[in-house]
């Protein structure tokens, strides 16, 4: 008779199961999609050969379009790299500019200019959190000021 295991949040005590583990049903579903028979012993499984679709070879114009897209993406990447501040977190874990960027991305993500007061980030709580991290009041005010994308009146 099969033993019934109690449902717990700890999956058979594997420390990183949720990150790396597989549930039997998910593995079976994937295997079925790939046409893999899970009853075959692992030693007998042969790697599948990569098949090219010879019925639909890419045309020269398709290749050229893809090359142009690659060039466009390379230009965008160079532009973004040139706009990125240098030396972020290079010399200190609590880099104020890095923290200001993080605060703007997190606290101001839902900001709506039309609904300013309701969607504005909380200035006092941001400063308080920074002070709890060890920044002085003046430093916390400065970081919060840099993080703020609007003019406060």
Please report the sign of the dihedral spanned by the C-alpha atoms of residue 108, residue 114, residue 115, residue 116: positive
Would you call 99 exposed, middle or buried from its count of C-beta atoms within 10 A (0-12, 13-18, 19+)?
Answer: buried
Checking phi first, is residue 134 left (phi over 0); if not, alpha (psi -120 to 50) or beta? left
Number of residues written out for the chain: 153
Question: Locate tokens 């099969």: which residue?
Answer: 2
Please tell me the pTM assigned to this model: 0.52
Integer Cα distance of 74 and 17 in angstroms: 37
Write out pLDDT tens, residues 92-139.
999 999 999 999 999 999 999 898 888 989 999 999 999 999 999 999
Query: What is the overall mean pLDDT for the chain?
Result: 82
Integer Cα distance of 134 and 136 in angstroms: 7
């Amino acid at each position: 008779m099969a033993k019934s295991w109690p449902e717990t949040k700890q999956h058979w005590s594997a420390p990183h199961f949720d990150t790396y583990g597989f549930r039997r049903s998910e593995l079976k579903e994937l295997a079925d999609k790939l046409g893999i028979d899970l009853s075959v012993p692992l030693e007998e499984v042969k790697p599948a050969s990569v098949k090219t679709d010879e019925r639909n070879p890419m045309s020269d114009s398709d290749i050229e379009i893809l090359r142009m897209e690659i060039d466009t993406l390379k230009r965008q990447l160079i532009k973004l790299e040139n706009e990125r501040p240098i030396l972020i977190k290079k010399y200190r874990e609590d880099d104020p500019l890095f923290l200001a960027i993080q605060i703007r991305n997190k606290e101001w993500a839902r900001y709506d200019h039309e609904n300013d007061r309701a969607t504005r980030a909380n200035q006092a709580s941001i400063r308080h959190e920074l002070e709890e991290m060890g920044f002085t009041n003046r430093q916390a005010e400065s970081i919060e000021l840099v993080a703020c994308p609007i003019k406060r009146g």
